[in-house]
Structure 1
């Protein structure tokens, strides 16, 4: 199994909207990728929550049955299509993939 975890810090303003609006849009776009390829075991996009510690705004926690499933997700047209928006609104990105 491969775990794929990505965290994004968003800009205060980007793409004509504020951070909170872009966080919501980004989560909706990520949620739309939840079942796009076979082999996705878990796919959870979450937003920083008031009152809980967070240094990033959006986190994607996902699990894939194999490296091939993760690769298929990464290359899928629906996933590729959301990258320009995410790239435009993000200030910083951290990612870690690991196998268990």
Structure 2
């Protein structure tokens, strides 16, 4: 099993919305990817709690049956479509994939 974790720090304002609004939009878009390919075992999206110290705004934690499932997710049209939004609203991104 492959665990795929991605974190985004968002711009204060982008795409006509605030950081908080874009965090919720990104969460919704990512959750829309939950069942797009076979082999997604778990997909969870968290938005940083207001008032708590946090260096990143949104986190994706997902588990894939194997690398082939992760690779299929990466190039799926639904996932590809959200990359434009992410590129417009993100300030920074960190990611890690590892075997569980």
> Under TM normalisation by the shorter chain, which class is it?
over 0.9
What is aligned with 1:83?
A: 83
Cα drift, residue 55 of structure 1: 1.4
- Residue ranges of structure 2 left out of the alignment (5+ in a row): none
Shift of 1:52: 3.9
Task: Report the Cα distance in structure 1 between the residues aligned to 2:6 and 2:18, rounded to whole angstroms.
Answer: 21
CA shift, 1:50, in A, is 2.6
- Alpha-carbon offset, residue 53 of structure 1: 4.0
Provide the aligned length of Structure 1 versus Structure 2: 100
Q: TM (normalized to structure 2)?
A: 0.96
Aligned counterparts of 2:53 and 2:42: Cα–Cα separation in 1: 23
TM-score with structure 1 setting the length? 0.96
1:8 aligns with 2:14: no
Counterparts of 1:17 and 1:51 in 2: how far apart (Å)? 20
Gaps of 5+ in 1: none
What's the CA shift string for 1:26-77, capped at 9, x where partnerless? 1000010011000001100110013544210000000000000000000100
